[in-house]
């Protein structure tokens, strides 16, 4: 167990650099989790997501369907951290993917879900906010083109995952950004949270379909909910 623990710490330190090691299969993803021993469990999103993406050797079909043209995976980085203003905690995205469709490229953050909620609401996270939280909220609202702090029932995680995609789209100079929820829940748990998030932008959400808008900044943003194959929950 000591050797395994040391290996996980080494791999997490490697993940903080700009050098990435090719995956040897789904098990390679475990080391990059915030809590590898706790989060790597059969029936949960981290493990299901890893098996799904590795088995497809490219874009899972349900992710490819989020685009209005044949889509190709150029690069996928599990547990990709994106720095955000305010505080010292990055947004750790389940998958960051560079995707090509037609003559366009997209920087996409993928949020894996089964039964796990999207974390605290804006009202919970922003209750009695510190200076750092105020700075972060201003940063997120600016990136998302929001004129005011979202209603208290909106899930904070959906805000910073989408902001991560926008930040990385600028960094890689892609044509658009995307935030896609990759859900393996048979009951589509927490879909209503996604619906309410899209309403911030005047959009209607439908499962297995993407909505596209252009933000005030001029950035094009794609938002979608993709239903994953629940067979991966048994892996």
What token pair was written down for 144?
């998302």
Count other Cβ atoms within 10 Å, centred on residue 227. 17
Whole-prediction pTM value? 0.92
pLDDT score of 168: 98
Tell me: pLDDT of 20 over 90: no
Query: For residue range 169-217, what is the model confidence (pLDDT) as tens digits?
Result: 999 999 999 999 999 999 999 999 999 999 999 999 999 999 999 999 9
pLDDT score of 144: 98
Report in angstroms the alpha-carbon separations of 58 from 44, 98, 192, 194. 21, 11, 29, 25
Q: How far apart are CA 53 and CA 180, in angstroms?
A: 14
Cβ-Cβ contacts under 8 Å for 70 (sequence gap 6 or more): 64, 101, 102
pLDDT score of 16: 57
Count other Cβ atoms within 10 Å, centred on residue 191. 18
Cβ-Cβ contacts under 8 Å for 194 (sequence gap 6 or more): 158, 181, 205, 225
């Amino acid at each position: 167990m000591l050797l395994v623990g040391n290996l996980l710490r080494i791999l997490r330190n490697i993940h903080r650099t700009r050098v990435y090691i090719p995956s040897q299969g789904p098990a390679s993803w475990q080391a990059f989790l915030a809590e590898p021993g706790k989060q790597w469990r059969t029936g949960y999103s981290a493990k299901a997501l890893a098996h799904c993406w590795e088995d497809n050797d490219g874009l899972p079909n349900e992710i490819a369907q989020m685009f209005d043209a044949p889509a190709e995976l150029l690069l996928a980085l599990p547990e990709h951290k994106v720095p955000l203003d305010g505080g010292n905690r990055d947004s750790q995205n389940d998958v960051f993917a560079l995707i090509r469709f037609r003559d366009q490229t997209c920087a996409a953050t993928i949020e894996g879900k089964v039964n796990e909620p999207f974390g605290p609401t804006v009202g919970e996270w922003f209750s009695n906010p510190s200076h750092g939280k105020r700075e972060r909220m201003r940063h997120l609202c600016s990136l998302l083109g929001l004129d005011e702090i979202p209603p208290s029932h909106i899930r904070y995680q959906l805000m910073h995952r989408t902001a991560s995609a926008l930040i990385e789209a600028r960094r890689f100079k892609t044509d658009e950004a995307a935030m896609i929820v990759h859900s393996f829940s048979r009951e589509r748990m927490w879909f209503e949270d996604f619906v309410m998030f899209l309403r911030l932008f005047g959009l209607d959400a439908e499962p297995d379909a993407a909505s596209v808008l252009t933000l005030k900044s001029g950035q094009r943003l794609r938002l979608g909910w993709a239903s994953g194959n629940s067979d991966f929950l048994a892996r």
